[in-house]
Structure 1
Amino acid sequence: MSSIRHPTGAPGDLLLKVTPPRVPRHQIARPRLQADQEALRDRPVLLVQAPAGYGKTSLLAQWRREHLARGSVVAWVSAHAQDEVERLVQCLALAVRVGAGRPTFGHILLDAAPPAGLEGVTIWLAELAQSALDVVLFIDEADRLPPAAREAVAYLLRNMPSNLRVVVAARADFQLDVDDLLAYGTAFMIGPAQLAFRLDETLELVRARFGERVDRDAAARLHELTEGWPLGLQLALSVVAAGSDARREIDALASHGGALRDQLVGLLLANLDQADVDFLTRVAMLDHLHPELCRRVSGDAQASDRLARLARDAPVFAVGEASEWLRMHPMAREELRKRFATLPETERRTLHARAAEGLAAMGLIDSAARHALEAGQHDLAYDLAERSLYDSVLDRGQHGAALEWLARLPAAELDRRPRLQLVAAWSLAASERHEEAGRYLDRILAQPDLSPALRCECALVQAGAAIWADDPDRMAALLDPWERDPPLRDPMLLQVHANRTAFRMLLDGEPALARLRQQQSPRLELGPSYRVHWGDYAVGLSYLWEGQVHLAENLLRPTLARVEGEVGRRAPFAAMLAAVLAAAVWERNRPDDAAALLANRLDVLERRAMPEAILLGFRTLARIAIAEGAEHRALELLATLDAVGVARRLPRLRIASLADQVRLHARRFRPETCRELCERIDALLVEHPGGPRWAAGAQLLRDIALAHAAIAAQEWRLAAERLAVADERARRAKLGRLHIELLSLRAWALDRCGEKSLPMLREAAGLAATYGLPRVFDDAHPALAAWVQQALRAEGEPAPAGPLAAPMRAPEAAPLRARSTPSMALTPKEREVLELAARNLSNKEIGLAMQVGEETIKWHMKNLFAKLDAGTRKQVVQRARLLGLLEAGG
């Protein structure tokens, strides 16, 4: 093929190398990875390095379109192992010739044999500088280049003229020797972490492909299954799209042993040698892979080289940046672990024993304990567990691992290991099984000569159990004896004490004191840790209650990112942080963001979260459903909240569910339904009187429900009185956001009574604007939102910006027509002629449309034929689309 000469003067095979790939049909433009994003905009050199399957070529194709849209000349080169320096130089010259539509560019390099070595690169750079073209050069798969060509690329990057930008994509192990450019900021590197899809991007991709056929929870499950790995996500979407029921296909894909999952894994492992598959099978029981650990476990002396090669060539690994540790993607790991289970038992035990020895030597005691147990080394496993579990629970919040050990430990072993009993109490207290924690604590407290420090620690555990049981009065009673100068020396336990105390202050209506207590905690000694993050949870919750949603989001978003990285997205604490953060971003009128935070987490909140986080999660999702016009979905969510209250014996959740149902029906003025719901609230209060602190919170919910019931009945005087009572309770508890809502409702009710209430309305509107709460009026009642707008405008005051009461529908898109993209390759008139030619107009019709003569159109078409190297009008349009100069229309 190389002997075939093209009219451009270049060998035919070079034309294929400078032809850019097609942008995938379902690709979405991710804002954080767009070419004009701040971190990328002014970088002369961009390096995109990641293992196979991370979408490097797709990202370059997206950037190419963006640069074309801004009028840059875009040159594309797909590298190959046969591209020695001279051939690479020819590719560079032809890429600019094609991209700029300049048939004479690079004639010295293309019309004769190019100079040897770097001289050809120098000539190319000089001609490019003289052309005054604004050029963006893409070099894809640069890792395939031979060493001399890599040196030429590095030389090119160090001698670039000011009118050139270069983007280089390569595998993760690619070495270009431009560390100095990276250090000085001339170059910028994008790695696997940036290329992986985030949850919100996966949700957008799934919505673009499947619409309403796949809900957010199912899309989030798909994201967790693939961990945002672009190739895994692409394969999974292809499999799901092939089925008749998208949600059912996702369920099958997520289930262990599903046929579709096996099909996916088969695609991932299909090209591996049997020796490689055997190696991966034997190390698949490890959660994380390290060359030395894999050598110990597999007995393969070449394990380090084999692992490095597989990480480079096999798309089954998540590579840690600047680290030797690797991790298999879940889809491949599950299949390989099924194969591991088929190995002979003696071999499995031997491999587990080697893993335990290797992990223990590396200081990973908790993982070593699990493998020792699988190897049948029970005494060693229990000793290792006793050494590791206490720190893993307190420092890293790995309650799930501790509970798994509880289920596997014989009762006799637990009886003779008091430290493991304490671990059990800590883990059980932070769950719906908080009553079981009390039994372990009773056994510990029954021991003679118990130190004050251990008694104080037991009180902290009991106070945590009281929080999960929604019993603030018992929590306060447990903390009172230890409030000042606790007999603790461990900074971690002191941080726990600070967290408990802060939460108690918050429930007592002192959010500022709660934050002060956190500031005085030993968090600086600990650094970022699980217990410090709990302090952030308390502070974020205090901001949310006050209505300081900006501060809540600024604090909790980075904390949530760290916690998800440490314990996983579906860990109970991560779900609790997400519930508070979702409530904050909902108040800021970002429903998609709030829904994404809660996607595929509701079941975790139901079973493992604190009552306040459960309430916030369900309430936020119900309000999102109302805003989307899905009242039935909101009622279903509130009914589920009531059921959770029954299952976990948390009556306040039941009262909150009923109160929110009253609020929902009051929006439609349904007085009888509201009255019946209020009667159910009164019955629950009689059945569960509770202590003073619990009763105060429950009574506030009742007062709000009674006020909304009066609004539903349009008994405005009664509504104003009940709103005043509820507002007084909210102000005593320093619930700032709720105070704004109740104040505005009261102003509205007084206005319905014929009384002047504009000063009260101004105060509520001013507070809402100060705190950034655009949703507060519409969430309270859609008629209130309309009245606020009308009343303030009538007074000549700016009305608060907020959502419309009814969900908006997107207008129907107009039929698309082919549109040319701005480019220096074509003149404005040539682009206009190209657009009209794409609509199959004749030269005469194009001339009439442009109000010029037919001869002028012929002259423009002749230039298009030359620049696009086409022989017919149809080829002109096809070549323009191929080069990105013409966007296809419908």
Structure 2
Amino acid sequence: MTKTLLATKLYASPPPPRSVERLRLLQRLDDGLQGKLTLLCAPAGFGKSTLLGTWVQACEYPSAWLSLDEGERDPDQFVAYLTASLRSISNDLGDGALALAQARPRPSPEAVLIHLINRLVMRRGRLVLVLDDYQLASSPEVDALLAFLLDNMPAQLHLVVASREVPAIALARLRAEGQMNEVGQDELRFHAEETQQFLNQSMALELSEGQVQALDARTEGWPAGLQMAALSLAGHSDAETFIRSFTGSHRLVQDYLLEEVLRRQPAAVQNFLLRTSVLDSMCAELCEAVMQETGGHESLRQLEMAGLFIVPLDDMRRWFRYHHLFAAMLQQRLRETEALAPLHLRASVWYEAQGMISQALHHAVAADDTPRAIQVVQGQGMPLYFLEDAEPVLRWLQNKTPAFLDEHPQLWLMLAWSYLATSQHSQMQAPMIGAETAIDSSSQHPAYSNWCGELSAVRAWEAVARGDAITIARESALALKRLPQDSLALRTAAHCALGVAHQFSGDRFAAQQVYGETLAMAQACGNRMIAVCAAIALGHLQEDDNHLHLASRTYGQALQLLGDQPHGVACQVHLGLARILYEWNDLESASAHAEKSSKLAALLECDAGLGADALRAQILLSRGETDAALTALTLASTAAQTRNPQSGRLAIAQTQVQAFLQTGEVIAATQLAQTHALPLAQSQVLLARGQALQALEGLTTFLAASQTSAPATELVRALLLKALALDAFAPTEAALAALEEAMALAEPQGWVRAFVDLGGPMQRLLEKSEQGSRPRYTAMLLDALRRQSVALVSLAAPVPKALQLPSIAPQTLAEPLSQRELEVLTLIYKGLSNQEIGQQLFVSLSTVKWHNQNIFDKLDVQRRTEAVARAQALNLL
């Protein structure tokens, strides 16, 4: 299940209706675009977000926005939101990076950043990325990622960071190189004229010059202080007395004004503000649930109109939040009057009903209600970690003390499952030991037997990660014996582990039966993680047993279960489909799936990528692109040196042998086949060298030893090579008998490439069998072989030069404008502003700026007037 990112974090809040236009600061930000970084660093309330929100609206370059909070202290989440914010400008900019950032298992955040930086390098035109409230996300890991981004940032990107604290990264070099534009609290303070404009024009207070100067001096130009003072003055009959009493440091001023603003609100408004302050974000329905009363829409509307420190989070004004300082003050006051736990619990219940389980868990934990949190995690019989969303559970439990976890033994089990779901198998041992101790001390608990069964299921899956077949079999059997029949999620997990035990012990039939049962059980009860695991394992076995049509359908089920989520197991699914489609001679589809597998494996650092790269090279060979295939194989072979799976390295070596034989490098093929002990490749090399008798001896030995254990792919190929070896020196009948044996296995499953890849010798042998027992299948194979031969000959033939016709256009574009860019260009010609273009085309302002920059780049101009003139010269307008 792909984790949903909160879209409201990716948009700047619109400037408040009574804000002051700060031209000097807007110009300062424009000037800073020449460097890498603009840093706005000042305490809360200095108007950093408001200033940046105004600036990005007017900035000539496309801009991406990210409002950070404490959740982004997790480096994976920080990078996920970073890529999502850039993707909000253009879908293709963050393509791949966002999928990578959300993948299971997750790659390193640095790998995601490298991918994103490489995408940015290929982009033409400047863009701006704003990170707001960086201090909330700051952590050693995130600071390191920010430093990495700055060190490797492409020239196209300008980074703006707004923070209450200076980020803990090395900034001296950027200062020395003139790459850093710093705007601090002294620059952000209101100047005297700005104070006067805000108080008397924006807030319409009609204060005297002396009163304005007094407030400016007492607040020291602190924008939030002035705003709160203005709100208090709006309901104060004696402005002079209020201003005289208004003194103190920033902290005292903040406390006084917040108290003054809150106290002057009607009781109903105060009650609403206090009780909804426990919410990090809020909508009308959530507020009504927490308040246990109606009128949420009207209450939020009134707060926004009154300017009571409420910030809209989306353009539709459905979701809001309070100013952080205001919310902190409200919560402090609320704690003095009532307990926060009931409010958090109501929020938890509401979120759970909306299917927003992570938020429901957050509020249950904030309420310090462990039983409620356990209930949320376990869901309606399907735990959160079996839906592949284990991170919230880990954030809750992984730093808890053993004493806390011992109070509820199932917490140890939840922690172990969450480590499994996030591929942190080595971390499972500690919670398993803790669970065993806690369960043993709770032998009188009604759930004791259930906990014992679940612990056995956890142990079985930890053994799966280690490849320990004996432990898997023992613990999965114990789990199924102890778990109640209605514990569907856990029984499904234990049943799947039992299938792994059968597979590891060599009982393929029993394994297939168990995987099929598990897949049906998992889909019925909604255990998505186990369903995907079972489907992939079943597909592999079906493929190996020469049930290609069944395997294709099973892999298809796995892809449907995975959806668009990037996951390590998806590499295996695409690779399995690619192998089958290649065998069916659907090279285009096979190439597409192999490409997906390879790219996803590279992003996620999965070992399946080795097999995918070998298959991609095999497809290149089948198309006669030998040089490209050899290059790809060389790269794959180099990468294989740092990988563990033997199967991937052998697949690459096998394909390299084919490539060497295709190019006539028989000696190199011989050495490679011997080095990697590849029996079928060695036999094929012997045939190429004219040593058919030695090839037949090796093939006979291989078939005798592997008849019941080797995958069908190898058996069919061995029989075909045996047929070719016999055809070289034995009577034709013997060769045709071996060919018939191979075809009996191959025809029902539609094998093609195993025959075609053997080229001319196989074509001649098939021509001898045209009148045999399988005339239609033989004719189909011969047709494929002849078409392959024709295609390879045509590729080898010289290609005549095309006639060079003179261009009749006086000027041309290196890259044509897209249809959307032509629409934007036409509206520019008509004189519409960027805002008006966005409204007419129903796109965001940043998208319009993106199109503008692309148009300017393609037309090789710098501004609108030049673009119109150039377009007219090219007859585009």
Structure-2-length-normalised TM-score = 0.46
Structure-1-length-normalised TM-score = 0.46
